[in-house]
Amino acid sequence: MLNSRYIHLHEALGLGAMWLKNSAKIIAQPTPNTFRQPEKKHKTPNPQARQQLIAFLQKTESTPTPIAKPIQATQPTTHFQISLHPARLFVLSACPTWQDISANRLFSGEDGALLQKMFAAIQLPIAQVQYSCWIKNLPPQHISPTPEMFAAALNEIQHEKNTVQAQAILLLGDDFQRPNMQALITQMAGDTPVFIISHPLRIQRDSTLRRPAWETLQRLQAHLAHNA
């Protein structure tokens, strides 16, 4: 069987009539409708969806996604330096805050202002107070100090306590309330009485911690007055 397109092509090229055998059958050329592709239906644009898309694009362009900085967990911070002087009270936090590290000074923010008010309330001049922190090289990621970190810094903090020769030690923070910290605190303090209150930053956020802190400070005041 021969497609009729070949006969028309043969004549169009000027090759004359194309003679076929009597037994030859010609297939009729399909009509154009046979190969017509179905027409795509266009959706009617939704004005509300278009406005939402424009608003989303404008928002993402105006607020670029911040690039997260990699955390170097193995690199410690710069060792926090403490200037020591003899004092009646040795005040210890677990570690410096990031604000303290930036200012290179302990209790440099609102926590320091609250501490000064506390000491003024028990008639203790700030000149008779020595600030320090037990752990001075906390890793960059903000984690809670572990008992191993406290143990590693025990000798250094004992040296500071002996240099200050304080009549009492005030520990700030819940880290010192852990049962596994009691032996280290005893080793560090020796015969010097120890008083523990929550960190001033926590006291500012939680008003229920003010009364226990005040009661502890009153006992501290009585001890210092007795040993004046």
> pLDDT by residue (tens digit) across 115-146?
999 999 999 999 999 999 999 876 655 567 88
Identify the DSSP state of 58: H
CB-based contacts of 29: which residues, under 8 Å, 6+ apart? Answer: 3, 4, 5
> pLDDT by residue (tens digit) across 136-188?
876 655 567 888 999 999 999 999 999 999 999 999 999 999 999 999 999 99
pLDDT at residue number 45: 56
Beta strands in 116-176 (DSSP E): 129-133, 168-172
pLDDT higher than threshold 60 for residue 189: yes
| Domain boundaries of the chain, sorted by first residue | 1-30, 89-226
pLDDT at residue number 30: 53
Measured in degrees and rounded to the nearest 5, phi and psi for residue 169 equal: -120, 130
**Which CATH architecture fits 89-226?**
3-Layer(aba) Sandwich (3.40)
pLDDT at residue number 145: 85
Average of pLDDT values for 41-54?
56
Distance CA 44, CA 152 (A): 72
- Give SS3 for 26: strand
Predicted structure pTM score: 0.66
Average pLDDT, the chain: 77
